[in-house]
Structure 1
Amino acid sequence: MMKKSILAGTALFLTIAPFAAGAANAASPAPAPAAHAIAKSVKQGSFVSASVERKADGKLVIHWHTDADLGAAKVYWSTNPDGGWKELVRTYTNYGGYVTEDPNPGSRVYFKVKGGNGAEIKTAERKLPLKGTTNFRDLGGYQTSDGRTVKWGKLFRADELAGLTPDDIAYLQKSGLKTDVDYRTDAEIAAKPDPAIPGVTYVKDQVFQDTGSGTDIMAVLAAGQFDQLGKPGAMLVDANRQMVDHPDAYVKLFDLMLDPNTSALVQHCTAGKDRTGLGSALMLLALGVPKQTVVDDFLLTNTYRADYNKAAVDVMVKQFNVTDPTAVDVIQAMMDVRPEYIYAAFDEMQKNYGSIAGFLEKGLGLTKAEQAKLQQMYLE
């Protein structure tokens, strides 16, 4: 593999890990707009969307939107998205929301809102309230092209997990998590191994091979030779193409998804943005979620990691005495997710397989029957 390709692969983790100490002191990311869950339509009207946002004081704000006044409403909660619902409050759908204390602190909580006409919708916090990560989130609640919804509490994406606290680990145990899929290299894992989570199986699923070229990147940064990294964002555009061209890790991901014994699962890398971003995109696309929704989820990382990324860029600029604005742009682009990154992957699928669907079937070996099984497992 050419040196440029090697650098592109390693940039996904090496631009972040060396600066964790400086960036860790930044404030936690501001809550992002929670993504929406979609309800089944009913003749008299239906819920259009719902979301949950956690405030700084720990209270939960449940929002919902309807296409008509559905009359009285009942709000339920459960630690299991598939059942065990307990009534929380009776209110009215035209209020559009409800603020509540966390009904079960320390555990994953799901909500269901039911209108007077029988229409209902499920929702939950998109980003899990964990102390030791910045980007651990649920892929549930997204609507598919045929009107179904990705189940909550089954598919998660995250950044590195080395900082999980004992309370975080207990939270994940109670969430029903079964599998931890780690996309990182041996070097990354050795530096920051995942903690053991009782009841959760750890699976190493390396996207890029260890190349030993991390020192090259650090040397480039230290020498100020940013022109070797190309234009801002070019490295990650190339990396996304590489991941499509060498998709073995994602083949393994779908094998795990298809096995009921290994789902629910979290897949993660270091920042939870590039390797995990493509993995999440492929999962949602295979379930029938529209491309634009997939792109929106990909870009949501910028919101959750905004404060962390700003602190990390500041540390890098100071450490390497960077004064050239273009060089700063290169560093910022390495920390961001941008539409052109994920579209580079889509374009590579189109070029090599004719379409995204062609890549799923031929590039990943995911048959139509297997895609139907995935949809049966993860949609409602």
Structure 2
Amino acid sequence: MEKVFNFRDLGATPAQDGRTVKKGLFYRSAMLNDATPADIAFLKSLNLKVIFDYRDVDELEIVKKDPYALIGAKHLNYPTDMQNKKLYKLKKSSHFMKAFRKVTFEDIKDTYRCIPFNNIGYKKMTEALSAGEVPLLQHCTAGKDRAGLGSAILLMILGVDYQYILEDYMKSLEIKKHIEDKVGHYIPKIFRARLLKRFEPLFVVHECLLETAFSAIKERYTTLENYLLEEFGLDAKALSDIRERYTEKISQN
């Protein structure tokens, strides 16, 4: 698309028992507020039923365009309400540099330890999945952390092995240059190259971040199955039904 970054269909991802995730049902992206008319037309053509928006309130306040009515999908905003808020305080230019200096890679890891649990947005996303309210799209601002973990949980539910979940997650490296350009707009040119290099870990996804989230899940619940049951109420029968509905056998022809 022209102005919507980090967009992709999770379809065709390998799942268990020789199946793949069906195409045209599950999407992820960065924020949609810069969407061009062509982008809107494309999103509208997907016949999205619901868009899950994981941005916090302060992120919504600084964007003026509202594309959701034009897309024709129900827009549900569920701020992550994380214990560690530092990562998402880089919104207003007047406070940008001060906040930017305070965010560390450990802050991001702490975020990944927190957001898999008691997350109302992810709970509502799984309810939509169970209810057949698809196609759906998950997004946040950059589409790499909150939407990235939401997509990882969705793929987990669909029976996708960790290696393929990680493979999808790491595709967000492709938007590193776009994020640097957006961030660089707020940094005085004389300091830009040095500061962008210093804070590069904040612009990209890392294997260790997804591993941090999965380790936190296993530390609390021992297994992914227990996690899906306790956090989302998905027992073995529910998972089997969801996987039968949303995955398909790969043709051998």
Given that 2:58 and 2:91 are in contact with CA atoms closer than 8 Å, whether structure 1 keeps it comes out as no
CA offset digits 1:47-99 (Å, max 9, x no partner): xxxxxxxxxxxxxxxxxxxxxxxxxxxxxxxxxxxxxxxxxxxxxxxxxxxxx
Matched, 1:151 2:22: yes
Distance 2:100 2:180 in 1: 22
1:377 Cα deviation after fit: 2.1
Question: What SS is found at the alignment partner of 1:157?
Answer: strand
Matched, 1:179 2:53: no
Distance 1:301 1:377 in 2: 27
1:319 Cα deviation after fit: 5.5
Question: What SS is found at the alignment partner of 2:55?
Answer: coil
Which of 151, 173, 179 pairs up with 1:302? 173
1:215 Cα deviation after fit: 7.4
Is the alpha carbon distance of 1:334 and 1:375 closer, same or farther for their aligned partners in structure 2, counting shifts above 3 Å? same
CA offset digits 1:94-125 (Å, max 9, x no partner): xxxxxxxxxxxxxxxxxxxxxxxxxxxxxxxx
Distance 1:366 1:224 in 2: 39
User: Which protein has greater RCO, CA pairs closer than 8 Å, 6+ apart?
Assistant: 2
Which of 225, 230, 236 pairs up with 2:108? 236
Distance 2:207 2:190 in 1: 28
Amino acid in structure 1 at the alignment position of 2:233: G
What TM-score do you get using the length of structure 1 for normalisation? 0.58
Which of 361, 365, 369 pairs up with 2:229? 361
Percent identity over the alignment is 27
Amino acid in structure 1 at the alignment position of 2:209: Y
Name the structure with the higher helix share: 2
Question: What SS is found at the alignment partner of 2:225?
Answer: helix
Is the alpha carbon distance of 1:172 and 1:377 closer, same or farther for their aligned partners in structure 2, counting shifts above 3 Å? same
Q: Which runs of 5+ in 1 are unaligned?
A: 1-129
Name the structure with the higher strand share: 1
Q: Which runs of 5+ in 2 are unaligned?
A: 249-253
Amino acid in structure 2 at the alignment position of 1:152: K
1:365 Cα deviation after fit: 2.2
In the other structure, the counterpart of 1:141 is 12
Amino acid in structure 1 at the alignment position of 2:134: S
Q: How does 1:59-98 map to 2 (within 5 A)?
A: none
Question: What SS is found at the alignment partner of 2:116?
Answer: helix
1:313 Cα deviation after fit: 5.2
Distance 1:270 1:173 in 2: 20
Matched, 1:335 2:208: no
Given that 1:157 and 1:280 are in contact with CA atoms closer than 8 Å, whether structure 2 keeps it comes out as yes
Is the alpha carbon distance of 1:221 and 1:169 closer, same or farther for their aligned partners in structure 2, counting shifts above 3 Å? closer
Is the alpha carbon distance of 1:220 and 1:191 closer, same or farther for their aligned partners in structure 2, counting shifts above 3 Å? closer
Bigger Cα Rg: 1
Matched, 1:371 2:246: no
Given that 1:133 and 1:159 are in contact with CA atoms closer than 8 Å, whether structure 2 keeps it comes out as yes
1:370 Cα deviation after fit: 2.0
Which of 119, 130, 139 pairs up with 1:247? 119
Is the alpha carbon distance of 1:358 and 1:164 closer, same or farther for their aligned partners in structure 2, counting shifts above 3 Å? same
Is the alpha carbon distance of 1:264 and 1:290 closer, same or farther for their aligned partners in structure 2, counting shifts above 3 Å? same
Is the alpha carbon distance of 1:368 and 1:131 closer, same or farther for their aligned partners in structure 2, counting shifts above 3 Å? same
In the other structure, the counterpart of 1:109 is none
Q: CA RMSD in A?
A: 2.8
**Structure 1 range deviating more: 313-322 or 334-343:** 313-322
1:328 Cα deviation after fit: 4.4
Which of 348, 351, 362 pairs up with 2:219? 351
Question: What SS is found at the alignment partner of 1:244?
Answer: coil
Distance 2:80 2:216 in 1: 17
Count how many residue pairs are aligned between Structure 1 and Structure 2. Answer: 244
Amino acid in structure 1 at the alignment position of 2:97: A
What TM-score do you get using the length of structure 2 for normalisation? 0.85
Is the alpha carbon distance of 1:199 and 1:219 closer, same or farther for their aligned partners in structure 2, counting shifts above 3 Å? closer
1:316 Cα deviation after fit: 5.2
In the other structure, the counterpart of 1:256 is 128
